[in-house]
């Protein structure tokens, strides 16, 4: 891998060619995790709003997958 790590102005600077980053599953997961953390850190949603959204997503998933799920668990 041709990644480079430098320390500059008290910060790590990591340079990874895009092609290599997306071909390496561990790097891809790390980058996706960091992007998600960045988005969450800028969120202005309250805990209550987040809980409501989670409930809505669960309800929606259940409505869309209920028959399949119940059929699979009956077999």
pLDDT-flagged residues of the chain (< 70): 1, 75
The single residue listed with the structure tokens 């895009």 is: 18
Residues 34 and 57 in one domain: no
Looking at the structure of the chain, the number of domains it has is: 2
Residue 61's domain comprises 46-75
Residues 35 and 50 in one domain: no
Residues 73 and 50 in one domain: yes
- pLDDT (0 to 100) of residue 51: 95
| Cβ neighbours of residue 20 closer than 8 Å, sequence gap 6 or more | 1, 2, 3, 27
Residues 33 and 3 in one domain: yes
Residues 35 and 54 in one domain: no
- pLDDT (0 to 100) of residue 71: 87
Residues 9 and 27 in one domain: yes
């Amino acid at each position: 891998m041709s990644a480079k790590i430098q320390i500059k102005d008290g910060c790590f600077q990591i340079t990874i060619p895009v092609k290599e980053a997306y071909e390496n599953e561990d790097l891809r997961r790390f980058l996706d995790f960091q992007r998600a953390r960045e988005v969450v850190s800028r969120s202005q949603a309250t805990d209550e709003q987040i809980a409501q959204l989670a409930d809505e997503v669960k309800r929606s998933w259940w409505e869309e997958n209920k028959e399949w799920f119940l059929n699979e668990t009956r077999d």
